[in-house]
Amino acid sequence: MEQLRDPVMQEDANIKAINEEYTKAFIFINKGLHADELGQKEEARSYYKQGLDHLLQGVSIPSQDPACVGPQWESARQMQQKMKETLQNVRTRLDILEQTTPPVGASPAAMDAPAGVSKLYPPIPSTEKPERPPPPSALFVPSQPPAADESVAAASQGQLPSMSPSSAKPLCLPNEAPPAYTPQATNGHFTVSYGTDSGEFSSVSEDYYRKCTQPPPLQNLGVDADELILIPQGVQIFFVTPDGQVSAPSYPGYLRIVRFLDTDSEMAQNRPPAFLQVTGK
């Protein structure tokens, strides 16, 4: 009788072990994510490595035997699949942390934002400036915005209403103010376009826009981020005001749909399970 119970007891032990390794792995990974966001690279590496160890142990537990049937085993296999999907992201993030060094300086927006708050505006290197043709001789500031029907008519003819990228209202994250407007670009920033009486005049080359609209690495969104759809370029976003006026950024960008694999941890409760990102917005 004792020999008949041993296989069943071993199966129960394996299911319990998979659950434990899954829970421990994501506890350490989430701690690593939190430390990573705070810029604590050494702590993040330590947590990621501990999480990686539990992921490896969890996926190594046998779960494909013919006797491994039933809802408990199905749930255990789903956990192992999540751990397998997270493994590569953790390894990639660890490689990035090993190769990168702390930045010498930070942008004013990054310094003003409280610790732990995601940065909406990336730092702009002050040494990399694109080629700039001379600005137009005459600049035109419209006295009033065009009517909604005029904008729609222009769009129907294949022309997008002209609008500077900076004039589109950004979606600000909590506790982070958008960059302040100044007549002249400061702190390493530079003007990319001017409004004129004949439309928008770009002061940078097409290569600049192609570089700026590339989606950031998926690993920047977290080790449990899973990219469902990516259209790398050619996506145009439009803004429609309550009074019917339509505008758009002056260049198309990318579209990305991302989901998060970890939906059970405490950190997962404070974020959406998935999100849509268009042209860096």
Q: Is the pLDDT of residue 56 over 90?
A: yes
| Domain C-terminal end among 51, 75, 99 | 99
Collect all residues with Cβ–Cβ distance below 8 Å to 29 and sequence separation of at least 6.
47, 48, 51, 86, 90, 223, 224, 262
Q: CATH number, domain at 39?
A: 1.20.58.80
**Last-in-domain residue among 99, 116, 139:** 99
User: How much is the CA Rg of the chain, to the nearest whole Å?
Assistant: 25
Please tell me the chain's helix, strand, coil percentages from 3-state DSSP, rounded to the nearest 5.
Answer: 40, 15, 45
Query: Is residue 183 over pLDDT 60?
Result: no
**29-38, 45-54, 137-146: range with highest mean pLDDT:** 45-54
Task: Specify whether 66 is located in the same domain as 197.
Answer: no
Domain extent, residue 21, equals 2-99
268 and 151: one domain? yes
| Residues 178 and 43 occupy one common structural domain | no
**71 and 8 housed in the same domain:** yes
Same domain, 124 and 254: yes
Other Cβ atoms within 10 Å of 250 Cβ, number: 20
Averaged over 50-59, what is the pLDDT?
Answer: 92
**Overall average pLDDT of the 120-136 stretch:** 52
Say yes or no: 25 and 112 in one domain.
no
Contact 118, 175 (CB under 8 A): no
- Domain identity same for 65 and 136: no
Co-location of 47 and 135 in the same domain: no
Asked whether residue 145 falls in the same domain as residue 35, the answer is: no
**How much is the pTM?**
0.40
Answer for the pair 234, 213: CB distance below 8 angstroms, yes or no.
no
- Cβ–Cβ < 8 Å for 172, 113: no
Of the three residues 66, 81, 99, the one that is the final residue of a domain is: 99
Tokens of 16: 């319990």
Q: How confident is the model at residue 87 (pLDDT cuts 50, 70, 90)?
A: confident
Judgement on whether residues 91 and 139 belong to the same structural domain of the protein: no
At 47, list the tokens. Answer: 């947590």
Hey, what are 3's tokens? 């020999």
User: How far is residue 36's CA from residue 101's CA, in Å, rounded to a whole number?
Assistant: 13
| pLDDT tier at 161, thresholds 50, 70, 90 | very low
Q: How far is CA 31 from the centre of its chain?
A: 19
- Compute φ and ψ for 230, nearest 5 degrees: -140, 120
Please say whether the beta carbons of 204 and 130 come within 8 A: yes
12-21, 214-223, 263-272 — most confident range: 12-21
Do residues 76 and 151 share a domain? no
Q: Amino acid letter at 160?
A: L
Mean pLDDT of 69-89: 88
Query: How many domains, the chain?
Result: 2
